[in-house]
Structure 1
Amino acid sequence: MRRDRQHVATGLGAAILGSSADAILATDRQGMISFWNPGAVRIFGFSENEALDASLDIIIPERLRARHWHGWEHVMLTGKTHYGSGDLLSVPALTKDGRQISVEFTIILLYDADHQISGMASILRDVTSRFDEMRRLKRQLADLSEKASASCAEFASATGVNPTS
Structure 2
Amino acid sequence: MQTTIDLDQLVAAVGDAIIVSDSEGKITLWNPAAERIFGFTEEEALGKSLDLIIPQRLQARHWEGYEKTMQTGQTRYGNDVLKVPAVHKDGRALSIAFTVALLHSDSAPEQVSGIVAVIRDETSRFQEERNLRKRIAELEARTGA
| SS of 1:46 mapped into structure 2 | coil
1:51-70 CA distance string (max 9 Å, x none): 00000000000011111111
TM-score, normalised to structure 1, is 0.81
Q: Any unmatched runs of 5+ in structure 1? A: 153-165
Pairing 1:4-15 to 2, within 5 Å after superposition: 4-5=2-3, 7=4, 10-11=5-6, 13-15=7-9
1:94-128 CA distance string (max 9 Å, x none): 01100111100000101112111001011000011
Aligned pair 1:123/2:122, yes or no?
no
Q: Which has the higher helix share?
A: 1
Larger radius of gyration: 1
Task: Tell me how large the CA RMSD over aligned residues is.
Answer: 1.5
Matched with 1:158 is: none
Pairing 1:7-156 to 2, within 5 Å after superposition: 7=4, 10-11=5-6, 13-19=7-13, 21-85=15-79, 87-113=80-106, 114-115=108-109, 116-149=111-144
1:1-34 CA distance string (max 9 Å, x none): 4xx34x1xx23x3332012511101010110000
Distance 1:80 1:144 in 2: 45
Distance 1:104 1:126 in 2: 7
| SS of 2:136 mapped into structure 1 | helix
TM-score, normalised to structure 2, is 0.92
Structure 1 residue 77 displacement after superposition: 2.0
Contact 1:45 1:97 (C-alpha < 8 Å) held by counterparts: yes
Alignment coverage as a number of residue pairs: 143
Identity %: 48
Letter in 2 for 1:133: E
Which structure exhibits the higher relative contact order, with contacts defined as CA atoms closer than 8 Å and separated by 6 or more residues? 2
Letter in 1 for 2:29: F
Moved more, 90-99 or 137-146: 137-146
